Structures are given as C-alpha cells and as structure tokens.
C-alpha cells in the first residue's frame, strides 16, 4: 500500500461506500483501458476486458491485502485477463485452422478511428510487431507511467529483469520505427 | 515529424522512440466505458460492508468459538482428572508376574488368573 489516502480508499471500499468505488474507476479506468488496447490492438476487446478487470477486482476485494497499490493490482488483473483471452484465441485458431484471426477483427475495429493519426498508427503497428512481454513492459512504463518497481509488482518479476527487458524492447521498437520512417 | 539527428543510431534516438510511445497516453477510452463501469459497481456498495478476510467476526461466530473452546477445555480437564476411566491399571500381583489381573475386566478372568481372591488356596 503506497500512501495513507489509498489506505483510506481501500477501507472505504471494504465498508461498501459507493463513492470509493467510483473514485477507483475514475482514477484508473483510462490507464487500464490503454494498457489493454495497446496489448491487443483491439478496442472492443479492450473495452470488454476493462469491464471484466473491474468486475474481478470488486469480487476479489476481500482477498486484496493492500501490499501493492490499487493501480498495480488492477494492471496485474488486466494482464492476466489479456493473457487468458489470448490463450483462448490461440486455442480457437488452432481448432478452426486460423479462422477468426485478430487481423480480421482489426478491420472493423474502432481503433482504426482512434489511430487516424499516422504517427500513432506507426507506433501501434511497431508495438504489435514485438512479442507480448516486450509490448507489455513498454506500454506499462512509457504509456501508463508505471515505475519499474510497480511493474515488478504487477508482473511478479524482478525489477532488474524488467529494466533489461524494457531497454531491449525500446531498442527493438526504435529500430522498427526508424526503419518505417526511412522507408 | 520531430527527429533527432546525430545520436549514433542513424538519426533516431531512444528518446525519440520514448516520445513516440508517450504520445499513446493521450488516447482516451470511449465515454460509454465509464458509464458501464459505474453501472458495474456492485449493488452491495452503498452501505453493506464487503465480505472480506479482514472483517471482524460476527457475534454468532464469536459465541460459537467461545462455546467450542469451553467444551474442549472441559473435556481435557475431565480426561486429566479421571485417568482410570481410560487407562489400564494393573492390580497388585501377589503371586507372580504371570498372573496379572485387570480390575476393569472381571468377566474375562480365568480361574487361574483370579487366585488373588483365593487366599485359602495358597500353596
């Protein structure tokens, strides 16, 4: 638990105060949504999973010990929710022989509207070309602004390892972006 | 596009890549999402405490626990106070080590075992 105000919020949540729930939603839903959006490059999936993340959080409130911040906790739930969906999709693709690919959904995806900006579209594409671990650390650190320590708590990995993965991922992204700009 | 030149990476620095990533944090979720999340706040919120591990015990749980502790303590004390009810106590063996008689098991005594009552029959 990071600070006193968060401890108070958690106590208010446990007392069932509706305003505390609303405060948590307002404080964190944007970053949780963005995290999921750039992990999966699918706006409707990000929207569905954001709702699932908060629903899971409310259900698990009784078991949350407050050892990490609420933000870290929500990102952790979000990451696991995304990984679960991805596994399910991979299984389905294996069964259907590749039908129902994400790329098919991407055409009708609202993300296309958001990413009318060419610069953003390039970054999102370059991010998507990275593997999940690299994409995760870059989005958590540079888009959502989590510190290495918070990332370590969210992903349950040593922060030293995450620093190294982040720096390697950033270098990969830089090369891809530079390649796109130069071409 | 803002490109930093002369950084040893063909003109595109790590900072340039970081800046491009940070631009993504300006993406906002649809307005409807907030409404859905607010609607998803559990109905129990608004007065009812969340059932969680940190919650204090209810009065019923408290009295049940007290009753259980008292019952267990009473049983242990009773067991310590009256050990003969549970343990086997050999009587004094007047004649020999082979003729043990168990006070709690009168019915299974064989005549040869009961010679402690047969003082006149002593050889």
Q: B-contacting residues of A 110-149, CB under 8 Å?
A: 110, 114, 119-120, 122-124, 127, 138-139, 142-145
Please, which pLDDT band fits residue A84 given cuts at 50, 70 and 90? very high
Question: Cβ A174–B46 below 8 Å, yes or no?
Answer: no
- Residue B102 falls inside a structural domain: no
Buried/exposed code over B17-36 (b: 16+ C-beta within 10 A; e: otherwise): beebbeebbebebeeebbeb
Q: How many domains does chain B have?
A: 1
Q: What are phi and psi of A156, to 5 degrees?
A: 55, 50
pLDDT of residue B64: 86
- Residue B16 falls inside a structural domain: no
A22, A50, A174 ranked by CB distance to B41: nearest: A22
Write the CATH number of the domain with boundaries A4-182. Answer: 1.10.1740.10
ipTM: 0.81
Q: What is the mean pLDDT of each run of 10 residues along chain B (123 residues)?
A: 45 85 89 92 65 54 86 87 57 50 51 51 49
- Residue B79 falls inside a structural domain: yes
Contact list, A142 vs chain B (CB under 8 Å): 18, 21-22, 24-25
- Residue B75 falls inside a structural domain: yes
Q: Which residue of A has its CA nearest to B12?
A: A178
pLDDT of residue B110: 54
Please answer whether residues A141 and A148 qualify as being in contact, where contact means their C-beta atoms are separated by less than 8 angstroms: yes
Report the pLDDT averaged over residues A29-37.
95
- Residue B33 falls inside a structural domain: no
Residue B71 lies in domain: 58-89
Could you tell me which residue, A166 or A111, shows the higher pLDDT? A166
Question: Cβ A51–B33 below 8 Å, yes or no?
Answer: yes
Please, which pLDDT band fits residue A144 given cuts at 50, 70 and 90? very high
pTM for the model: 0.68
> Is any Cβ of chain A less than 8 angstroms from the Cβ of B55?
yes
Q: Which residue of A has its CA nearest to B42?
A: A58
A95: left (phi over 0), alpha (psi -120 to 50) or beta: alpha
Q: What is the 3-state secondary structure (H, E, C) of chain B?
A: CCCCCCCCCCCCCHHHHHHHHHHHHHCCCCHHHHHHHHHCCCCCCCCCCCCCCCCCCCHHHHHHHHHHHHHHHHHHHHHHHCHHHCCCCECCCCCCCCCCCECCCCCCCCCCCCHHHCHHHCC
- Residue B52 falls inside a structural domain: no
- Residue B1 falls inside a structural domain: no
State the Cα–Cα distance between residues A114 and A178, nearest whole angstrom. Answer: 23
- Residue B111 falls inside a structural domain: no
Report the pLDDT averaged over residues A17-46.
92
Contact list, A182 vs chain B (CB under 8 Å): 10
Could you tell me which residue, B55 or A129, shows the higher pLDDT? A129
pLDDT in tens, A85-126: 999 988 887 776 554 444 444 444 557 666 677 778 888 989
Mean pLDDT taken over chain A: 86
């Amino acid at each position: 638990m990071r600070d006193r105000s968060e401890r108070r919020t958690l106590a208010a949540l446990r007392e069932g105060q509706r305003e505390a729930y609303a405060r948590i939603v307002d404080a964190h839903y944007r970053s949780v949504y963005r995290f999921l959006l750039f992990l999966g490059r699918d706006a409707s999936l990000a929207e569905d999973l954001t709702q699932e993340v908060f629903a899971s959080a409310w259900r698990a409130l009784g078991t949350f010990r407050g050892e990490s911040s609420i933000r870290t906790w929500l990102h952790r739930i979000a990451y696991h929710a995304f990984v679960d969906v991805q596994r399910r999709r991979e299984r389905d693709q294996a069964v259907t022989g590749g039908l129902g690919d994400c790329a098919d959904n991407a055409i009708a995806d609202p993300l296309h509207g958001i990413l009318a900006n060419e610069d953003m579209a390039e970054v999102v594409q370059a991010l998507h070309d990275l593997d999940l671990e690299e994409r995760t650390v870059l989005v958590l650190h540079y888009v959502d602004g989590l510190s290495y320590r918070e990332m370590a708590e969210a992903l349950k990995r040593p922060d030293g390892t995450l620093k190294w993965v982040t720096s390697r991922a950033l270098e990969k992204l830089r090369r891809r972006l530079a390649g796109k700009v130069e071409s | 596009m803002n490109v930093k030149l002369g950084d040893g990476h063909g003109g595109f620095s790590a900072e340039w890549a970081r800046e491009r990533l940070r631009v993504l944090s300006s993406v906002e979720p649809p307005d409807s999402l907030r409404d859905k999340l607010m609607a998803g706040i559990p109905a129990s919120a608004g007065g009812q405490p969340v059932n969680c591990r940190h919650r204090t015990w209810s009065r019923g749980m408290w009295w049940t626990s007290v009753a259980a502790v008292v019952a267990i303590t009473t049983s242990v004390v009773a067991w310590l106070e009256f050990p003969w009810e549970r343990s086997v106590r050999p009587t004094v063996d007047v004649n020999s080590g082979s003729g043990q008689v168990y006070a709690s098991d009168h019915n299974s005594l064989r005549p040869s075992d009961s010679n402690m009552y047969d003082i006149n029959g002593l050889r």
